[in-house]
Amino acid sequence: MNQVAEAVLESWQFDLWPLILLLLTAIIYICGWRKLRRQMPQRFGASRLISFLAGLAVIVIAIASPLDAFASLLLVAHMIQHLLLLMVAPPLILYGAPYLPILRGLPSRVLKHGAGPFLASPGLQKFARRLTHPLVCLFAFSITSLTWHLPKFYELALSSPFWHEVEHLCFLGAALLFWWPVIQPWPSRAEWPRWAMIPYLFLADFQNTALAAFLIFCDRVVYPSYAVAPRLLNLSPLDDQAAAGAVMWVPGSIVFLIPIGLIAIQALSSRRGVRPSSLRVELPVIQPKQFSSSFPVRRQKGWDLLNVPIIGAALRSPRFRRVVQLSMFALALLVIADGLFGHQMSSMNLAGVLPWTHWRGLLVISLLVAGNFFCMACPFTLTRDWGRRWLPARWRWPKRLRSKWLAVGLLAVYLWAYEAFSLWDSPWLTAWIVIGYFVASFLVDGLFQGASFCKYVCPIGQFNFVQSLASPLEVKVRDLDICRTCTTYDCIRGNDGQRGCELGLFQPKKLGNLDCTFCLDCIHACPHQNVGIIATTPGSQLLHDRYRSGIGRLSRRMDVAVLVLLLVFGAFVNAAGMIGPVAALERTLQQRLGLESLLPVTSTLFVVALLIVPLLLVALCGLISRALSGSAVRWRELISRFAFTLAPLGFSVWVAHLTYHFVTGAAVVIPVFQRVANDLGSSLLGRPNWASVAMLVPLDWLPSLQILLLDGGLLLTLYASWRVARGFSTRAGGGLRLLAPWAGLAVLLYATGVWIVFQPMEMRGMPSGMQAGSMSSRMPGMQH
Amino acid sequence: MMTMKKQHFKVIAELWRRGLLLVAALLAFSSRVQTDGGFVELHQEVGPFVVTVFSAPGPLRAGPVDISVLVQDRSNQPVLDGEIFVRLSRKSGMTLVERATREMAQNKLLYSALINLPEAGQWELEVTIKQGKETASVLGQVSAAAPTPFLLSYWRSLLLPPIVIVMFALNQWLKRRSAHRENDSNLAFHKALEVF
């Protein structure tokens, strides 16, 4: 292929926001279409789905393909782009009858409680009826099309990416309105008789033709930007303009004439007495006899991961879990070996890269999109099992330590050590931490019964338990009725072939993911196959204070609340510890105090930021909350309940922070493995090329993605706080007063998170040459 | 009653005015960095090349800017195997040099370099093109305004929570209104029953 043509065809670029919106729309439509197809197969055939997805694909072609790249250089490319948005994508989308599939595709709670009040509002219904009236639609289309083709507005769109996007949105919105009465997507009803669409389309075509003719026959360049643009394809500006006019005229008119022809044929056929065959819709009527045969006896509560082919089978297999654990164990051994004996530059060592960049990033991503699958694959399970085999393992965990306080202390020490000793920058220390972990798990579970290490000691486990409160998957019972008839309780007691839950979670009374290691022992033990990995609304377990097996009520667990607060504020401290202003503050304080080491300054700042400030803020919120609402609820209970609602915000900061390192530094693992192989004398993997380390997503997506994550965390926190406040006070006013200080705290934390995102950041796990060269100059939020 | 209504309208009008001002302010700062394209800064014919230099955002601001270069031969055919260097310098002696590549550009006929302009003001722009043995340079001046505050650069992402909160408030208001309506109709029904 010609080199120029190849370059043109490669000129694609995807913007984050449109891509997210289009992907979400497609997913929601497909989900809804699948549900509706089961009920109305004739109405929602494959053609609807294909048409809708084709419409979305046309939008992608219009805004991300070479057409967009060349829109500022060639008017004809820009005109084709507009034609796709005005005349191709909207009819295809509307032919997909998107109204019902999109509504059915939404989660039922969102549809009922979120969209429901809007859809049921008489005012909005009236507005929608008026908006889709053919006169309004035609007027909107004509005005939008004419206005944006005026030189002043066209130039505005050419000079500003923002206005260019507004122009495209206006075109798409007006065109969807225009094509609405023509396609009349089901179940909307026509305002005008069908034949009236013929003059309707003719009027639009007339306006389009007039505009096209003006561009073709005008003897001056209408849009000055194209007069100064460099000449491509050897087209003069006037030729380019005429070509654009021709595109608008000929294909544009054809798009209008096709439906005119079809409607005319339809109208004439019906006059001759041949009515179009009415669509027979069979409503899904369930006969009692059919019910028992076609539906499973057990009621399934939502989507179950165990029912997914291959993945479900793998998860059910105990061997699969052991294989994953052994793989992780092997990686941990590699980390230890390279950390102790390998190159001590963290970005070139497996101990500097695998745990801090890859494992942490993948951990939070898996918690966000699935659940606590790291605990399932935990390599320390092996040493725990060996401990049980070789040591007595007969003592019960001391009563005084049966809480999360020990884990809170260990977690605080870990977070402090991370900052104070720059653990991420020391492969040697990292290796010793992993060794320490293996030894601790071996000893604790070798001496004490049950999974004492996981439940009371492991800081990673506590992190996973708390963050998985916002995960979309949960190990839970499929049908409670089956549990009511169960007499053996294998899920907690175990049986001859399988142990029960070591963390003391009784499945029928288990709520949420707290203390659940996803070990799947309960799934294997249940003789009724009544436990699954079931989809749940993220954060829904934060909304109520019911009794939970193995935990009790959240309002009475101050230790768990403090653990949550430590992880929430720890997220901010951990992210802030690596930004320029904090590093500068530490150095300034060190100089002013005349200290030789940074350790006292870092430690003091750490105590202030992770202990004193959170304590003051939370206590203050509790006091204000009580004073404003006049509530008689105990202060401790109030704090315990609201502390949990901050968990999603803290989690969003962890995800934004750790995925940033992952997507920017994931590929560095290739040269690191090459370096290890070379050090061992093998040239099988080739020589490491430290300069060619690619990123997983475009760099300019990162700040937007990070803020988007923080947005999600803030909104979930605010919603959970609102629901908790309403639980304490049934009156809206009282609830709002209770909520106010906590919402204020959430917004303050969110603002801190956004501020951190925009600060110069260190690039961990990346070769230093790469950091200075290519990252810092691109995005201001990532300078050193 | 009328005075209260007038006051009510005044408050609404003021809210609208402030809202529009806020939107206008956001739009004024909404110039994100384009990966390439943007304003034509220079268009010169030097040696065997026709060189067009674009800059984005328009108008140029201190902070991350994109300098894109289209190199064509005298017959307007794009030159795709050149080596392009962009040099920006200040009178104070500060100099930034970055290699422009086609990988960085959205439009793969162009060469693009993302440069972080540290300060506003006049900058000397020099673009050097090398292709085989041919070398040419174009010179010009660009003016950079004060940088866009980052918060305003990412206003779209930051606007999401307020929009969702407003929608939620509206949702709650509609729910309460429909509940009131249901209560009223129930009350009317019971009163009607009492009459009989």
Q: What is the pLDDT of residues B102-139, one digit of tens each?
A: 988 888 999 999 898 888 999 999 999 999 888 999 99
Q: What is the pLDDT of residues A631-644, one digit of tens each?
A: 778 888 899 999 99
pLDDT of A271 above 60: no
Last residue of a domain, one of A271, A297, A315: A271
What is the identity of the amino acid at A40? Answer: M
Q: Give A684-724 pLDDT, tens digit per residue.
A: 888 888 766 667 777 778 888 899 999 999 999 999 999 99
Share the mean pLDDT of chain A: 88
Cα(A68)–Cα(A59) distance, integer angstroms: 11
> How far is the alpha carbon of A595 from chain B, nearest alpha carbon, in Å?
33
Element (H, E) at B46: strand B39-46
Alpha helix stretches (DSSP H) within A448-538: 452, 459-467, 480-485, 490-493, 521-525
User: End of a domain among A220, A254, A271?
Assistant: A271
Q: Does A779 touch chain B (CB under 8 A)?
A: yes
In this structure, how many other beta carbons lie within 10 angstroms of the beta carbon of residue A520? 21
What is the per-residue pLDDT across A329-385, written as a single tens digit (0 to 9) for each?
A: 999 999 999 999 998 888 899 999 999 999 999 999 999 999 999 999 999 999 999
What percentage of chain A reaches a pLDDT higher than 90?
65
Residue A637 shares a structural domain with residue A737: yes
Which has the higher per-residue pLDDT, A292 or B82? Answer: B82
Average pLDDT in chain B:
80
Residue of B nearest to A8 (CA): B108
A193 lies in some domain = yes
From B136, B141, B112, B107, select the one nearest B124 (Cα to Cα). B141
Q: Which of A162, A711, A750 sits opposite B31 (nearest CB)?
A: A162
Give the H or E element holding residue B39.
strand B39-46
Q: Which two tokens stand for residue A474?
A: 């949960």
Q: Say yes or no: A682 and A732 in one domain.
A: yes
Residue A300 in any domain: the answer is no
Whole-number Å distance between alpha carbons of A245 and A709: 44
Distance (Å) from the alpha carbon of B100 to chain A's nearest alpha carbon: 12
- The B residues from 147 to 186 touching A (CB cutoff 8 Å) are 150-151, 154, 156-158, 160-161, 164-165, 168, 170-172, 174-176, 178
Q: What is the signed CA dihedral for A291, A292, A295, A297, rounded to 10 degrees?
A: 140
A314 or A683, which is more confident: A314
Residue A353 lies inside a defined structural domain of this protein: yes
Residue B17, Cα to own-chain centre: how many angstroms? Answer: 23
Three-class secondary structure of residue A775 per DSSP: helix
The pLDDT value recorded for residue A297 is 42
pLDDT greater than 80 at residue B3 = no
From chain A, the residues in CB contact with B172 under 8 A are 732
Please indicate, yes or no, whether residues A654 and A686 belong to a single structural domain of this protein. Answer: yes
**Which tokens in the block code for residue B124?**
């000397």
**Cβ atoms A441, A383 nearer than 8 A:** yes
| A10 and A150 belong to one structural domain | yes
Residue A358 domain-assigned (yes or no): yes
Residues in B 127-146 with any Cβ partner in A closer than 8 A: none
Q: Clarify whether residues A502 and A646 are in a common domain.
A: no
What pLDDT, on a 0 to 100 scale, did the predictor assign at position A110? 87
Same domain (yes/no): A626, A735? yes
Determine, for residues B78 and A776 on separate chains, whether the beta-carbon distance falls below 8 Å. Answer: no
Q: Does A760 touch chain B (CB under 8 A)?
A: no
Low-confidence winner among A69-78, A239-248, A770-779 (lowest mean pLDDT): A770-779
Please check whether residue A543 lies inside any domain of the structure.
no
pLDDT score for A776: 32
CB contact under 8 A, B174 and A118: yes
Please report the pLDDT score of residue B106 as a whole number. 83
pLDDT score of B194: 60
By mean pLDDT, which of A533-547, A615-629, A691-705 is the weakest? A691-705
Rounded to whole angstroms, what are the CA distances from A358 to A80, A373, A660?
Answer: 44, 15, 11
Mean pLDDT of B11-34: 52
Establish if A566 belongs to a structural domain.
yes
Summarised one tens digit per residue, pLDDT across range A152-198 is 999 988 888 888 989 999 999 999 999 999 999 988 888 888 899 99
**Are B108 and A8 inside 8 Å of each other by CB?**
yes
Buried b (16+ CB within 10 A) or exposed e, A326-349: eebbebbebbbebbeebbbebbbb
Together in a domain, A449 and A565: no
pTM of the model: 0.81
- Is the predicted pLDDT of residue A118 greater than 50, yes or no? yes
Q: Would residue A724 count as lying in a domain?
A: yes
Give the percent of chain A with pLDDT over 70: 92
Query: What is the span of the domain harbouring residue A754?
Result: 556-782
d(CA A441, CA A76): 68
Q: How many domains does chain A have?
A: 3
Report helix, strand or coil for A220.
coil
DSSP-derived letter for residue A532 is E
DSSP A299: P
* Among A271, A296, A329, residue at a domain's last position: A271
**A229 close to B (CB below 8 A):** yes
- The reply to whether residue B72 touches residue A230, judged by beta carbons under 8 angstroms, is yes
pLDDT in tens, B38-61: 678 888 899 899 999 998 887 788
CA A318 to chain centre: 30
* A582 and A502 in a common domain: no
- Under 8 Å between Cβ of A256 and A204: yes
* Minimal-distance CA residue of chain A relative to B53: A230
Reduce the DSSP state of residue A33 to 3 states and report it. Answer: helix
Q: Do B27 and A718 touch (CB under 8 A)?
A: no
Q: Is residue A276 part of a domain?
A: no
The better pLDDT of the pair A263, B33 is held by A263
Does B106 reach chain A within 8 Å, measured CB to CB?
yes
The answer to whether A56 and A126 are in contact (CB under 8 A) is no
pLDDT at position B103 is: 86
Identify which of B33, B114, B174 has the shortest CB distance to residue A777.
B114
Nearest beta carbon to residue B150 from set A66, A161, A780: A780
Is the per-residue pLDDT at A551 higher than 50?
yes
pLDDT in tens, A581-615: 898 899 999 999 999 888 999 999 999 999 999 99
Cα distance between residue A23 and residue A751, in whole Å: 28
The helices-and-strands tally (H runs, E runs) of chain B is: 3, 8
Instruction: Determine the distance in angstroms separating the CA of B117 from the nearest CA of chain A, rounded to an integer.
Output: 9
Task: Name chain A contacts of B39, Cβ cutoff 8 Å.
Answer: 159
The answer, yes or no, to whether residue B7 has pLDDT greater than 70, is no
Res. A465: pLDDT tops 90: yes
More confident residue, A734 or B87: B87
| Shared-domain flag, residues A476 and A621 | no
Domain residue limits, chain B: 1-30, 39-150, 154-184
B86/B162 Cα distance (integer angstroms): 41
Instruction: Tell me: do A314 and A342 sit in the same domain.
Output: yes
Nearest to B161 among A70, A113, A714 (CB): A714
What is the pLDDT at residue A684? Answer: 84
Chain A CB within 8 Å of residue B27 CB? yes
Instruction: Give yes or no for residue A767 having a pLDDT over 70.
Output: no
Q: How confident is the model at residue A127 (pLDDT cuts 50, 70, 90)?
A: very high
> 62-91 in A: which are within 8 Å (CB) of B?
66, 68-70, 72-73
The stretch A236-252 carries a mean pLDDT of: 93
Q: Tell me the pLDDT band of A683, cut-offs 50, 70 and 90.
A: confident
- What local confidence, expressed as pLDDT, does residue B37 receive? 55
Q: What pLDDT is stored for residue A14 in this prediction?
A: 84
Q: Are residues A320 and A469 in the same domain?
A: yes
- Domain B39-150 in CATH: superfamily? Macroglobulin (MG2) domain (2.60.40.1930)
**If phi over 0 gives left and psi between -120 and 50 gives alpha, with beta otherwise, what is residue A278?**
beta
Min CA distance, A704 vs chain B (Å)? 6
Q: What is the pLDDT of residue B13?
A: 65
Residues in chain A: 784
How far is the C-alpha of B26 from the C-alpha of B155, rounded, in Å? 7
Q: Are residues A684 and A605 in the same domain?
A: yes
